[in-house]
Structure 1
Amino acid sequence: MKKVIKKSIALIIMFTTLLGYANESKVMTSKKEYKKTSLTLNGVKEGQKLVIKDQNGLTLYKELIKESGTYYKGFDLTSLPDGKYYFELDKDFEIKTIPFKVKSNSVVFEKEEEVSVFKPIIRVKDNRILISKLSLELKPTEIKFYEMTSEGAKLVHSESIENTKIIERIYRIAEKYKSTYKIVIKSEGREFVEYINI
């Protein structure tokens, strides 16, 4: 009788354990897990910004990268309405755009449309403003200087540059024109704004 009771208890424990594993694997393979799209980005740095935007540029999701190295995360993008979207990784000197589209609850990445836009680098040395910009696609770049006055921003210089891969400009500001300047650089569908004091 004791053997029968021991065998019954062992069987009950075994079935309970099996049911526990069955429930656990059910959670792991739920429909929600299948819907997740994983994004892996190599060479990220702490403090960089990752966003998801729709085709109108509206930000739907925003996150600051917490650790340098490889970023890996799953997103349920199938809940988005049908349309075009993109991930945007804002790095120190570059903005990388990773487009995807959602159609009938499926997500397709458009690898051939991935682009990187390089940010302008603006430095001040003595009375000079140094601007560097990389444009691999030879897109037109517009540079505008505004002097900030009590009446508002006053345009003091405007320049358009075309068919140039590496843009390097040095602007000298005379001593008597020391002020606060707003520099606006438009290139590749982006606008970069920086304020400097000379």
Structure 2
Amino acid sequence: MKNVMNNLKKVFLMVAIMSTVMGYANEKSFTITENDAKKTVLTLADVKVGNLFKIKDENGMVLYKETIQRKGTYSKGFDLTSLPDGSYFFELEKDMEISTIPFEVKANEVSFNKELAKTFFKPSTHTRGNMVFINQLSLNEMPLEIEVYYDGGVFTESYQLIHNETIANTKNIERVYELGDFEEGKYKIVFKSEGREFVKFI
């Protein structure tokens, strides 16, 4: 028990904040057309095997889900006119980013506002020795909450919260944590941003 508490006390946080504005080319990665059958044809560029495509309603309920099976360009027609009136969005989840394209259905008519399409970049984590490096690109400078947990073993409750912070108002988020007496598999980091949650075990 004493060793566990010593490990918790040895967790030392080093903060590196970098507020440099990064240029980002918002290349057009999708097109939306209508075919002869009056279906909405969505074409997505630069997809990879294993990417996850979904159609969701405004409450986040998944109405359609498909795992991309081929690298390159994804194109498919959808009959969206039969959906109840409301707000919906296409979502494409890649390894390090999630893109959303919203649309509205009203009286069997479908409308898109392509200007509202956006990309959410996932936090990235890598380790070097007992150092943990965290990065995230947040073009809209949205808050990122970070929670660091330590697995204290059989003598304490599993995964005790040992550090948490929220970073906002910066496009480029960078954090470096030095974990005392680092043991692989003993730490869990939870990221929360824009209603999404990601968990990384290290």
Smaller-chain TM-score bracket: 0.7 to 0.9
RMSD: 1.8
Displacement over 3 Å in runs of 4+: 176-179
Q: Deviations over 1:116-169 (max 9, x none)?
A: 100011112211111110001111111110123442331100111121111111
Cross-structure match for 1:184: 190
Cross-structure match for 2:167: 161
Structure of greater Rg: 1
- Percent identity, aligned pairs only, is 54
Q: Give the distance between the partners of 1:178 and 1:44, measured in 2 at CA.
A: 33
Question: Which has a greater percent of helix?
Answer: 1
Cross-structure match for 2:81: 78
Alignment of 1:31-110 (within 5 A): 34-110=37-113
TM-score by length of 2: 0.76
Matched residue of 2:37: which SS? helix
Cross-structure match for 2:147: 144
Aligned counterpart in structure 1 of residue 128 of structure 2, from 116, 125, 128: 125
Between 1 and 2, higher relative CO (CA 8 Å, sep ≥ 6) is seen in 2
Structure 1 residue runs without a partner (length 5+)? 1-31
Structure 2 residue runs without a partner (length 5+)? 1-34
Q: Deviations over 1:42-94 (max 9, x none)?
A: 11111100001110001111101111111110011111111111110001111
- Going from structure 1 to structure 2, the CA distance change for 1:122 and 1:79 (only over 3 Å counts) comes to same
Letter in 2 for 1:152: S
Contact 1:147-1:179 at 8 Å conserved across structures: no
Q: Give the distance between the partners of 2:53 and 2:197, measured in 1 at CA.
A: 18
TM-score by length of 1: 0.78
Matched residue of 2:49: which SS? coil
Letter in 2 for 1:39: L
Letter in 2 for 1:192: F
Contact 2:145-2:192 at 8 Å conserved across structures: yes
